[in-house]
């Protein structure tokens, strides 16, 4: 049995959906698990329930 390595989780926080999408696609291509939030309040709530390895915010 092989243990599957979990992918690093990144949260992108930006109010511009096109910016989040472009960066998110690039990171996903590099095998990161990418999540999106429109604002800081949503980002805090997401992070509270599912901690991230990295948060990128504008």
The answer to whether residue 2 sits within a structural domain is: no
Of the candidates 31, 2, 38, 18, the residue with the CA atom closest to the CA atom of residue 10: 31
The strand order across the sheet containing 54-57 reads: 33-37, 9-13, 54-57
User: Which residue in the block uniquely carries the two structure tokens 């990144």?
Assistant: 10
Q: What's the DSSP call for residue 55? A: E
Instruction: Say how many domains are in the chain.
Output: 1
What pLDDT score does 57 carry? 95
The answer to whether residue 36 sits within a structural domain is: yes
What pLDDT score does 5 carry? 76
What pLDDT score does 58 carry? 87
What pLDDT score does 3 carry? 62
* Residues 1-58: tens digit of each pLDDT: 566 678 999 999 999 999 999 999 999 999 999 999 999 999 999 999 999 999 999 8
The answer to whether residue 1 sits within a structural domain is: no
The answer to whether residue 26 sits within a structural domain is: yes
């Amino acid at each position: 049995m092989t243990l599957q390595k979990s992918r690093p989780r990144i949260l992108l926080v930006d109010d511009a959906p096109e910016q989040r999408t472009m960066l998110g696609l690039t990171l996903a291509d590099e095998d990161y698990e990418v999540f999106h939030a429109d604002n800081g309040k949503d980002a805090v709530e997401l992070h509270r329930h599912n901690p991230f390895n990295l948060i990128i915010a504008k």
